[in-house]
Amino acid sequence: MTELSDADRFLIQQIRSGDQSGWEQLISRYQGRLCAFARKQLKQQDAEDAVQEAFISFLKGIDNFEDRASLETFLFTILRRRIVDVLRQRGRVVDSKTCELATDDASENPLEQIAEPDGLSASGYAERDESFAQQRDALQAALRDEVLRLQADLKFRDLQLIEMVFHAQLRNKSIAERLSMTEQQVALQKHRFIKRVAKSLAEVLPAAESNVDPPERLLLEVWECIRPTCPKRSTLGKFKLATLDTEWLDHIQFHVAELGCRLCQANLDDMERLLDEQATQALCDQFMQSSIGFFR
C-alpha cells in the first residue's frame, strides 16, 4: 500500500490523457473504501459530499500528482483534509490522524503539525527545491526498508512499538504502559530505530551525514505519507478470511483493532460491503435462473 502500483500508474496516465473510462475505473476502485472512511466521521450525505469533493480536488490537481505515495494513501489524505474542514466548520474538535489510539494524545499533535499531501497543495513539495525532494524520497525508502526488515524478521513487538510511535503518535509513557515496558526501554528502542533509518538513509543518499538523525517531525510526516505498515488490500482480504499465519493475523488484528488504523478499517468495511453485494447478487442470480423456466 505504500508505493504507486503499475495498475495505478497506468490509470493515472489514462486519466491525464483525457480517457474518461480511466476516471470511471479510478472512482469505482476507490469510492467504496473512501466512503467507508468518511462515514465513520460524518453523516451519510456529508460523507458522500466529502468523497465527491476529494475526487474533484484530485482530478483538478492530477497534473501535479507525483508518484511518491500510493494513489490510495494520497486519496485518503485529501479526503481526510476535507473531513477535517467539514468538522471544523461545525465547531468540532478534530483528531486528524489515522488511528483511534491517537485520541489520547490528540492535543499534542494537531493537524497543523502534519504534512499537507504533496503535489496538490501550494505548500506541497512540488514547489520546494529538488534536493529536499530527494532527501524525502530517500527517507521514504529508508523507512520502508526498516519496516520490511522488522517484518521479515517477524519482530512484531518491535513493529507494534514503532507503529505506536509513528502511526499513532503516542507518547513514550503511553506506549510503555501498553507494552508493559519502562519509558526508558521505549525511548531506547525508538532511538535505535531512528539510528537504523539514519544509517540506511546514508546508504541511499551518500550526501546525508550518517551521524545526523532525521528530525522526528520529518519522520512523522513521511510516515503519514507512505504508511509503511498498512497491509496491502490483498493481505487485508486474507486477514478477513483468516488465511494468514497466526503471527500475521495477530499483528494485523493489532494494527486494525488496537492501533485502530482507520484507513485499513475503511478497506475492511468496503470489502464487507462488496461481499454482501456479491452474496445478494448471487442469490438474485439463483432466483432468476431457477425461475426463468416459468417466465412467459
Q: Which residues bind Zn ion (CB under 5 A)?
A: 230, 261, 263-264
Which residue shows C-alpha cell 493515472?
A: 12
The smaller minimum CB distance to Zn ion, of residues 142 and 168, is found at 168
Q: Which is nearer to Zn ion, 272 or 285 (CB)?
A: 272
Residues 231, 218: Cα–Cα separation, whole Å? 22
| Shortest reach from residue 256's CB to Zn ion, in Å | 7
Q: Which of 57, 159, 46, 166 is nearest to 115 (CA)?
A: 166
Minimum distance, C-beta of residue 238 to Zn ion, in the bound complex (Å): 15
Q: Taking Cα atoms as reference points, which of 97, 62, 249 lies closest to residue 257?
A: 249
In whole angstroms, how close is the CB of 57 to Zn ion at the nearest point? 22
CB proximity list for 57: less than 8 A, separation 6 or greater: 78, 82, 120
DSSP type of residue 146: H
The distance of closest approach from Cβ of residue 265 to Zn ion in the complex, given in angstroms and rounded to an integer, is 8
Cβ closest to Zn ion, residue 208 vs residue 222 = 222
* 4, HSE (Cβ side, Cα atoms, 13 Å): 15
Only one residue has cell 499465519, namely: 245
Q: How far is the CB of 270 from Zn ion (least distance, A)?
A: 13
Identity of the residue, 29 or 199, whose beta carbon is nearer to Zn ion in the bound complex? 29
Residues 6+ apart with CB under 8 A from 152: none
Phi-psi region of 242 (alpha: psi -120 to 50; beta: other; left: phi over 0): left
Q: Which is nearer to Zn ion, 68 or 97 (CB)?
A: 97
